[in-house]
């Protein structure tokens, strides 16, 4: 069966409560790689909590790993050549749906008793489907009219902003089947690297800050309060990573912790969190695909590229212009740690990890991603205001000329920069476009 596009077409008839899983090969370049199209023919189906429309072709690009789940049974067509495609009867979707139902009960009760809705933290090692479970629960919640908040603490693979950030996003409609949640006006903070371990003090500080801002919003917005939040976390669950989870639970005063596929973590959290926190162990889906280091790095790169150049149908045209060194102040958050015995009297490691270290622009700044802080210019003396200020955007340094004291930057908006305080990330982006 060959459709007009000339692509091979395969039909799948799914029984109720089964899912079709498929992967699209990750191509070298976006242009050369295959895409796979999906069409629902009969019945009803959803992709990670978002319902499919019948007779509409959904396009999935290279590297996509998708599950089409049906509660009632359905038939679908796949056009193109997926790397793998198979139907599984063994999915934890019923457990995930029950979890949603329990959270919805808590929201109803919150509404009745004038309380706040559930604050949920999703934890587990890497590649257990944490982000997918968050997406599912958020989409189910908006589908029943709630306005939950997604709190993204995964600094390696952020679903909301570029890597190296933590953020919060109010969810107002289910995730788009192809593109995920519409990211409008997220609240984003600069962390600066892809693992919390590079500066755990800063990571915890930003977690607390997000919790504070979320709670303030809940005080003035009843729907946000009842909707509660779903917190996506990093896959680092040992040592300081574990401590960061405990810290997050306390900062957000979470009511529920969903532990994906990690019994020890489940037992530890049960032991260490207050007894009123419901800690629930959930299985991971057999469909979740393990991603290699390279795959993660590519995904991060892609996220930055999307920020500047747009995604799918929507193209952005970034600007390139020169910025004089004298017009900006660049800081790195956190000085290298030094032994306690060498610290000046009265100073602690905390201070060094949150310290603003001025960066003198040099060649080595090239390709670094810089966050443009929303802090008012001239506030640089105050550590608190800068570290805890949201960012208003990102630029990438594409060239540095130390002779003329000028650097060239890639920016989503034309010159001038909206603010002049920049925070440097460890993360680099080479613009191959
Ligand atoms: P990380 O450790 O990077 O935070 P994670 O635990 O959040 O990973 P996800 O990003 O949710 O994991 O899932 C990993 C990949 O598996 C994603 O590409 C997702 O689309 C895919 N995936 C999740 N569930 C399924 C499923 N049931 N069938 C097929 N693919 C799936």
- Convert the pLDDT of each residue in 240-289 to its tens digit: 999 999 999 999 999 999 999 999 999 999 999 999 999 999 999 999 98
Residue 294: pLDDT over 80: yes
Q: Which ligand 1 atom is nearest residue 126's CA? A: 2
Per residue in 139-158, pLDDT tens? 999 999 999 999 999 999 99
Residue 305: pLDDT over 90: yes
How much distance in Å is there from the Cα of 136 to the middle of ligand 1?
11
Sheet holding 74-79, edge to edge: 9-14, 74-79, 36-43, 57-60
Q: Rounded CA gap, 100 and 274, in Å? A: 22
3-state SS class at 307: helix
Least confident of 26-40, 175-189, 214-228, 362-376: 26-40
Instruction: State if residue 88 touches ligand 1 by the CB under 6 angstroms criterion.
Output: no
Neighbours of 138 (CB within 10 A): 27
Q: Which ligand 1 atom is nearest residue 64's CA? A: 18
The residues, ordered by sequence, that sit 6+ positions from 141 with a Cβ below 8 Å of its Cβ are 100, 103, 104, 107, 148, 171, 227, 230
Least confident of 30-39, 42-51, 110-119, 232-241: 30-39
Does the pTM exceed 0.80?
yes
Whole-number pLDDT of residue 377: 67
Residue 31: pLDDT over 70: no
Instruction: State if residue 233 touches ligand 1 by the CB under 6 angstroms criterion.
Output: no
Closest protein CA for atom 9 of ligand 1: 129
Sheet holding 229-232, edge to edge: 187-190, 165-170, 149-152, 229-232, 119-123, 256-260, 278-282
- In 3D space, the residue among 297, 155, 294, 180 whose CA is nearest the CA of residue 235 turns out to be 155
| Mean pLDDT for the chain overall | 92
Instruction: State if residue 49 touches ligand 1 by the CB under 6 angstroms criterion.
Output: no
Q: Which ligand 1 atom is nearest residue 134's CA? A: 11
Query: Could you tell me where the DSSP H helices lie in 163-262?
Result: 200-220, 222-227, 239-251
How much distance in Å is there from the Cα of 67 to the middle of ligand 1?
10
pLDDT band at 349 (very low <50, low <70, confident <90, very high): low
Per residue in 161-171, pLDDT tens? 999 999 999 99
Residue 292 CA to its chain's centroid (Å) = 18
Instruction: State if residue 373 touches ligand 1 by the CB under 6 angstroms criterion.
Output: no
Instruction: State if residue 157 touches ligand 1 by the CB under 6 angstroms criterion.
Output: yes
Closest protein CA for atom 20 of ligand 1: 65
Closest protein CA for atom 8 of ligand 1: 127
- Mean pLDDT of the region 326-341: 84
User: Degrees (nearest 5) of the Cα angle 222, 223, 227?
Assistant: 120
State whether ipTM is beyond 0.90: yes
Instruction: State if residue 154 touches ligand 1 by the CB under 6 angstroms criterion.
Output: yes
- Cβ atoms 424, 370 nearer than 8 A: yes
């Amino acid at each position: 069966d060959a459709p007009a596009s000339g692509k091979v077409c395969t039909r799948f008839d799914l029984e109720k409560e089964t899912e079709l899983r498929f992967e699209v090969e990750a191509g070298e370049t976006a242009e050369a790689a295959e895409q796979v199209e999906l069409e629902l023919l009969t019945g009803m189906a959803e992709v990670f909590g978002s319902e499919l429309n019948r007779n509409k072709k959904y396009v999935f690009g290279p590297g996509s790993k998708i599950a089409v789940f049906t509660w009632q049974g359905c038939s679908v067509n796949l056009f193109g050549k997926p790397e793998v495609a198979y139907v599984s009867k063994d999915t934890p979707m019923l457990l995930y749906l029950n979890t949603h139902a329990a959270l919805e009960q808590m929201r109803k009760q919150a509404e009745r008793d004038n309380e706040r809705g559930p604050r949920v933290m999703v934890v587990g090692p890497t590649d257990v489907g944490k982000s997918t479970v968050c997406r599912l629960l958020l989409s189910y919640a908006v589908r029943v009219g709630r306005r939950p908040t997604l709190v993204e603490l995964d600094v390696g693979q952020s679903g909301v902003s570029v890597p190296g950030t933590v953020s919060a996003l109010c969810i107002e409609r289910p995730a788009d089947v192809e593109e995920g949640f519409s990211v409008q006006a997220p609240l984003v903070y600069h962390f600066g690297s892809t693992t919390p371990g590079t500066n755990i003090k800063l990571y915890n500080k930003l977690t607390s800050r997000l919790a504070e801002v979320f709670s303030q919003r809940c005080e003035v917005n009843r729907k946000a309060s009842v909707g509660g939040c779903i917190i996506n976390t990093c896959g680092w669950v040992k040592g300081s990573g574990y401590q960061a989870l405990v810290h997050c639970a306390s900062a957000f005063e979470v009511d529920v912790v969903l532990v994906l596929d990690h019994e020890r973590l489940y037992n530890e959290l049960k032991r260490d969190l207050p007894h009123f926190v419901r800690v629930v162990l959930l299985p991971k889906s057999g469909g979740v695909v393990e991603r290699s280091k390279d795959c993660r790095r590519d995904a991060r790169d892609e996220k930055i590229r999307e920020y500047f150049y747009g995604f799918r149908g929507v193209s952005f045209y970034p600007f390139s212009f020169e910025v004089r060194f004298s017009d900006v102040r660049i800081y790195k958050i956190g000085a290298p740690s030094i032994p306690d015995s060498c610290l000046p009297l009265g100073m602690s490691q905390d201070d060094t990890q949150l310290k603003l270290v001025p960066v003198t622009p040099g060649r080595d700044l090239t390709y670094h991603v810089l966050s443009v802080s929303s802090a008012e210019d001239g506030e640089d003396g105050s550590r608190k205001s800068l570290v805890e200020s949201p960012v208003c955007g990102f630029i990438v340094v594409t060239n540095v000329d130390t002779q003329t004291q000028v650097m060239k930057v890639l920016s989503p908006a034309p010159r001038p920069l909206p603010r002049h305080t920049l925070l440097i990330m460890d993360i680099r982006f080479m613009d191959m476009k």
